[in-house]
Amino acid sequence: MEQPASDLKTKWRKFSFSLRIARRYLFSKKSHNAINIISGLSATGVAIGTLALVVVMSVFNGFDSLVTDMFSAFDPELKITLVQGKTFSIDSPEFKEIKAMKSVAVFTPVLEDNALLAYKDKQMPVVVKGVDANYNKLTSIDSIMYDGDFLLYDGGFERTVVGAGVASLLGVGAKFIDPLYFYAPKREGNINLLQPERSMNEIPAFISGIFLVNQVQYDDHYVLVSMNFARDLFNCDSTTVSAVEIKIAENQNEEDIQKQIKSILGNKFHVKNRYEQQENFYKIMKIEKWFTFLILSFILLIASFNIIGSLSMLIIDKKGDIQTFRSLGANNRLIKRIFLFEGWLISIVGALAGLILGTLACFIQEYFGIVKLGAGYVVEAYPVVTDVKDIILVFITVLFMGFLAAWYPVRYINKTLFN
């Protein structure tokens, strides 16, 4: 049943009256100057907490965007691997069908395995990834080259591109004259215990470049070589691969192509997009972001408790006004609403100030890079990306905490002044 227009007007008048009184109490000078100071400190505390939330979440968004862009330069749009096992053959009708799909722009076989890498008297285990010559068309590998060029074969000698961490541990750089030596066990034949080196394949390659993506995932472990080099090192034939990496043609839906390839290959193969290839890493970043949000929200809640002291002192200061309102016919609910709105206004003023300052600080950092990361990082300044959804979430969080902080002293009015 619809309410009569007169009832709606009456409710609106009460609401408007409560809001006007609360606004007047907020900005007018109180009889005790301490109340003004505490109210100002309450709004300032909320503003600082809100600013911190906006800035920290924007920085997390910036690092997430940076890492995503860097992974996109190394990871393919789709990657096919076995559910069980290490290698498989692409000499099958299913893979020929996938390669012939118009929606597949680049089809690159990959052979990846562990090997021992040596340079002079230094050695370390690495992950050797053999790729075709069209790998730079599959990914944006050129954009993450830290030193040198992406070159795997120069027409006469085998070349290799190593991660920045590998290069640092071995003490090598691009265009070094001395080659790196790769060692991997031979897949056939008995091990000679007297001469175990004869049970290993040993192949040299010269460094052509160094890439920089992510220290934990790639830089400290990965080395890129040509597909022929990897096949010779691991004793594999021309159809044996450990994965197939795919770039989708323009104006094609990635999710639809992924489902189509899955239906062709069946349950024996994984078909993963970029997020799924680094799923654990992205989950950790999100957990860190929201855990930090909860910690800062808790600090903001503590700062919001200043509103309790501010309202409690204001209630005592305006005790005479409360009696006047009651004499004029104001009921208990209307009087409580005035002071509840007072607490909300403190939160809103603080939240708006914090949002404006935080967003302004993020834009300044984004365009001018005031705060630097220091030497040795991929980017010079802290990356920031301001997300409207994060700002809305922060604003709602602050208002909710302001409601909690204002609710307690309003109950105090009910229990002490109205009984």
pLDDT tens-place string over residues 407-419: 766 666 555 554 4
Based on the fold, state whether residues 345 and 330 are members of the same structural domain: yes
CA–CA separation, 337 vs 14, rounded Å? 9
Domain boundary among 254, 277, 300: 277
Based on the fold, state whether residues 100 and 236 are members of the same structural domain: yes
- What is the per-residue pLDDT across 336-351, written as a single tens digit (0 to 9) for each? 777 777 778 888 888 8
What is the length of the chain?
A: 419
Q: Is residue 403 domain-resident?
A: yes
Strand duo 122-131 + 222-226: pairing: parallel
Q: What is the pLDDT of residue 1?
A: 47
Q: Provide the number of structural domains found in the chain.
A: 2
Based on the fold, state whether residues 126 and 34 are members of the same structural domain: no
Based on the fold, state whether residues 190 and 142 are members of the same structural domain: yes
Based on the fold, state whether residues 49 and 174 are members of the same structural domain: no
**Range in 84-98, 170-184, 188-202 with the lowest mean pLDDT:** 188-202
Q: What is the pLDDT of residue 414?
A: 53
Higher pLDDT, 26 or 166: 166
Based on the fold, state whether residues 340 and 301 are members of the same structural domain: yes
Q: Phi and psi dihedrals of 134, rounded to 5? A: -90, 15
Above pLDDT 70, what percent of the chain? 80
272: Cα separation from own chain's centroid: 19
The pLDDT of residue 80 is above 90: yes
SS3 of 255, please?
A: helix
127 and 112 in contact (C-beta within 8 Å)?
yes
- What is the per-residue pLDDT across 383-393, written as a single tens digit (0 to 9) for each? 899 999 999 99
Q: Is residue 302 domain-resident?
A: yes
Query: Which residues, other chains included, contact 131 with Cβ-Cβ below 8 Å and sequence gap of 6+?
Result: 108, 110, 138, 152, 224, 225, 226, 227, 245
Query: Which residues, other chains included, contact 248 with Cβ-Cβ below 8 Å and sequence gap of 6+?
Result: 77, 78, 103, 104, 105, 254, 257
Q: What is the pLDDT of residue 380?
A: 81
Based on the fold, state whether residues 249 and 286 are members of the same structural domain: no
Based on the fold, state whether residues 51 and 104 are members of the same structural domain: no
Positive or negative, the Cα torsion across 28, 34, 35, 38? positive
373: Cα separation from own chain's centroid: 18
Q: What is the pLDDT of residue 140?
A: 85
Q: What is the pLDDT of residue 340?
A: 76
Q: What is the pLDDT of residue 31?
A: 52
CA–CA separation, 195 vs 306, rounded Å? 77
SS3 of 350, please?
A: helix
Q: What is the pLDDT of residue 377?
A: 67
Q: Is residue 362 domain-resident?
A: yes
Q: Please name every residue paired with 241 in a beta bridge, in sequence order, or none if there are none.
A: 88
Higher pLDDT, 2 or 212: 212
The amino acid occupying position 181 is: Y
Task: Tell me what the pLDDT averaged over the chain comes to.
Answer: 83
Based on the fold, state whether residues 389 and 334 are members of the same structural domain: yes
Domain boundary among 247, 277, 307: 277
Based on the fold, state whether residues 166 and 287 are members of the same structural domain: no
Based on the fold, state whether residues 96 and 57 are members of the same structural domain: no
CA–CA separation, 275 vs 79, rounded Å? 11
Q: Is residue 411 domain-resident?
A: yes
pLDDT (mean) for 69-84: 88
Q: Is residue 2 domain-resident?
A: no
**Range in 54-58, 255-259, 329-333 with the lowest mean pLDDT:** 329-333
Q: Is residue 181 domain-resident?
A: yes
Helix, strand and coil in the chain, % to nearest 5: 55, 20, 25
- What is the per-residue pLDDT across 101-158, written as a single tens digit (0 to 9) for each? 999 999 999 999 999 999 988 999 999 999 988 898 888 888 888 899 999 998 889 9
Domain boundary among 277, 301, 336: 277
What range does the domain containing 36 cover? 8-70+282-416
Host H or E run for residue 159: strand 159-163
Q: What are the structure tokens assigned to 383, written together?
A: 């990356």
- What is the per-residue pLDDT across 208-234, written as a single tens digit (0 to 9) for each? 999 988 767 788 999 999 999 999 999
Above pLDDT 90, what percent of the chain? 40
- What is the per-residue pLDDT across 313-333, written as a single tens digit (0 to 9) for each? 766 666 666 677 677 666 677
Range list of H helices, 305-387: 306-317, 319-327, 332-368
Q: Is residue 61 domain-resident?
A: yes
Based on the fold, state whether residues 130 and 220 are members of the same structural domain: yes
Query: Which residues, other chains included, contact 416 with Cβ-Cβ below 8 Å and sequence gap of 6+?
Result: none
Q: What is the pLDDT of residue 42?
A: 77
Q: Is residue 1 domain-resident?
A: no
208 and 161 in contact (C-beta within 8 Å)?
yes
